[in-house]
Amino acid sequence: MRLSRYFLPVLKETPGEAQIVSHQLMLRAGMIRQTAAGIYAFLPLGLRVLSKIEQIVREEMDRAGALEVLMPTIQSAELWRQSGRYEAYGPEMLRLKDRHDREMLFSPTAEELFTVIFQNGAKSYRDLPRNLYQIQWKFRDETRPRFGLMRGREFLMKDGYSFDMDMAGAQHSYNRMFIAYMRTFARMGLDAIPMRADTGPIGGDLSHEFIVLAPTGESDVFYDEAWLERRDSSDVDASDADALAAYIETLNKDYAATDEKRDLDAEAACGARLQRSKGIEVGQVFFFGDKYTRAMGVSVQGADGTPVHPLMGSYGIGVSRLMGAIIEASHDNGGIIWPDAVAPFSVGLINLRADDPECAAACEGIYAELTAMGVEVLYDDRDERGGAKFATAELIGLPWQLVVGPKGIKAGVVELRRRAGGAREELSVETALARLTP
C-alpha cells in the first residue's frame, strides 16, 4: 500500500480528551475516531490491527474445538425475562421497541440467546459436549465511558459458551478454554496472567480473569514471578484431560491476585519472588453450571432417559479492548511498537527523496518485490521531508522500517531498522529483502 493513497489522518498533537497512552496513540496514529461518547469508528490502519487480533482469537478457538456462530446484536426482551435478567440487568442495557411496540435490546452479552440456540439443536446426551462462540459487537451504556477502547460503550467481543452433561466434562471444557486463552495472548506478544476471580453465588474456584501486565494498566496486580517461568503451554495436549488439568493445577499454585483479592500470607510466602505491576483485564473464563439452562427450561435426555439440565461455562475476550491493551504494554516516546503478529503492516518502506529518480526507482523495485513475496508493506512515497516520514513511522509502530536514501543507493546499501529495540543495520538490498521475507 502506498501511503500517498492511504487514508491515514495522523495528528501531531495529542487530543485533550485522551487520558491514557493507548487512546492518545490510536487517535494520533489515525486508527480510530470518536463518533459519540464511548463509540468509535475504526479507520483503515486500526481495522487492520483489529482484524489481526480477531483472527488470532478465531484460530485458537477453532484449535480448541469451539464452533463459530454469529448471533444478532438485537435480542428480544422476552428471552431475558425467561432467565430473570431483563429487569435486573440495570441501566447499562440499551432497551428499545420496534414499530410493533415489541420490546427489544441491544446485546450487552448473549447467555440467553446461546442457550436457546443450543436447545434447538441438542436433544440428548449424544449431542454433547458442545462449545459455541461468536465474535460480535456488544453495547453497554456506561455512565462514564472513558479511556478510548478500554472502556467504551460499543465494543467487539468474543463470547463463547460450553455445554456439558456433568461436572467432569464441564471442568475439561473450562480447562480447554483456559489453555486456549493463554495461547491466544502469547501469540499477541502479551504477558497475560490468569488470576482467580469471584464466582458469586455459584461458589467454587472455576473463574479466572486474564490480566495483561502493562505499566499504565488500570489495576494493581501482585504475582509470583515463578508464574512467568511456567506459562509456556506449547507442549500441553489440550485433548488429554488429565495432562491439561495437571498443568493448570501447577500454574494455579503460583500466586497471582488483583488488588481486591490480595492474600498477604501468600505474598509473604513468595518472598523476593513477589512482583507488583499494573494490569488490564482482557478476558475471563467462568463456570456457572445450570443457571441458565434450568431457568429457561433447557434439558437433554440423559443416558438413563431422564432429563438433564446441561452445565454451562462462559468465555469472553475483549477483542477491541485488546488493541488498547497491546499498545499500553508496548510503546515508547515515539509511538506504538506493534508485535509482529498483530501489526497492520510488517514493513514501512521509507523513501527519503521521492524526487530523486534513482531513489524512487530503487523503492519501486523493493516495493514490488516485497509485495510479490506476500510481505505487507506500507510504502511512504509522499513528497515530505525525511523527518516527517520517520515521525510517522515511529508513531504507527510497524515492526520493520526499510530506509532508502540517495547516498545509500550510490553505496549499494539500504538501512533496516527494528522498531522494537531500535537496532539498525546497513545491508545490501538483497540481504534486506531476504531478512524481511517469511
**Domains of the chain, start order:** 3-336 (3.30.930.10), 345-436 (3.40.50.800)
The string over 191-224, giving b where at least 16 C-beta atoms fall within 10 Å of a residue's C-beta and e elsewhere, is bbbbbbbeeeeeeeebbbbbbbbbeebbeebbbb
Is residue 32 within 8 A of residue 148, CB to CB? The reply is: yes
pLDDT one-digit tens code per residue, 250-276? 888 889 998 888 999 999 999 999 999
Cα–Cα distance measured from residue 110 to residue 316, given in angstroms and rounded to the nearest whole number: 11
pLDDT one-digit tens code per residue, 34-80? 999 999 999 999 999 999 999 999 999 999 999 999 999 999 999 99
Whether the predicted pLDDT of 216 surpasses 80: no
Average pLDDT over residues 311-334: 96
Whether the predicted pLDDT of 414 surpasses 60: yes
Residue 73 is predicted with a pLDDT of: 96
pLDDT one-digit tens code per residue, 156-181? 999 999 999 999 999 999 999 999 99
Of the candidate ranges 204-208, 310-314, 335-339, the one whose mean pLDDT is the lowest: 204-208
Q: Which three cell numbers stand for residue 372?
A: 510479490
Going from the C-alpha of 41 to that of each of 19, 34, 154, 281, 298, the distances in angstroms are 18, 6, 10, 23, 39
The string over 261-282, giving b where at least 16 C-beta atoms fall within 10 Å of a residue's C-beta and e elsewhere, is eeeeeebeebeeeebebbbbbb
97's CB contacts (< 8 A; 6+ apart) are 103, 104
Average pLDDT over residues 139-164: 94
The torsion angles phi and psi of 7, rounded to 5 degrees, stand at -100, 95
Q: Which three cell numbers stand for residue 185?
A: 495472548
Percent of the chain with pLDDT strictly greater than 70: 98
Going from the C-alpha of 73 to that of each of 40, 92, 100, 108, 154, the distances in angstroms are 17, 15, 19, 9, 11
pLDDT one-digit tens code per residue, 349-371? 999 999 999 999 999 999 999 99
Tell me the β-bridge partners of 311. 164
Of the candidate ranges 204-208, 321-325, 376-380, the one whose mean pLDDT is the lowest: 204-208
Whether the predicted pLDDT of 187 surpasses 80: yes
End-to-end CA distance of the chain: give it in Å, rounded. 19
Strands 67-68 vs 130-139: parallel, antiparallel or unpaired:
parallel
Whether the predicted pLDDT of 309 surpasses 60: yes
Instruction: Tally the C-alpha atoms within 13 A of residue 339's C-alpha that lie toward its C-beta.
Output: 21
Cα–Cα distance measured from residue 362 to residue 248, given in angstroms and rounded to the nearest whole number: 53
Within 91-225, residue ranges assigned H as helices are: 111-121, 167-187
- Closest to 133 (Cα-Cα) out of 238, 236, 57, 190: 57
Of the candidate ranges 243-247, 278-282, 296-300, 404-408, the one whose mean pLDDT is the lowest: 243-247
Residue 123 is predicted with a pLDDT of: 93
Q: What is the pTM of this model?
A: 0.94
Cβ–Cβ contacts within 10 Å for residue 403, how many?
22
DSSP state of 340: G
Cβ–Cβ contacts within 10 Å for residue 369, how many?
16
Q: Which three cell numbers stand for residue 312?
A: 454451562
Whether the predicted pLDDT of 95 surpasses 80: yes
Residue 200 is predicted with a pLDDT of: 63
Q: How confident is the model at residue 196 (pLDDT cuts 50, 70, 90)?
A: confident
Residue 204 is predicted with a pLDDT of: 58
Tell me the β-bridge partners of 276. 222
Q: Is 250 exposed, middle or buried, given 0-12, 13-18 or 19+ CB atoms closer than 10 A?
A: exposed
- Alpha carbon 194 to its chain centroid, in Å, reads 15
Average pLDDT over residues 8-22: 93
Q: Which three cell numbers stand for residue 298?
A: 433447557
Whether the predicted pLDDT of 201 surpasses 60: no
Residue 370 is predicted with a pLDDT of: 97
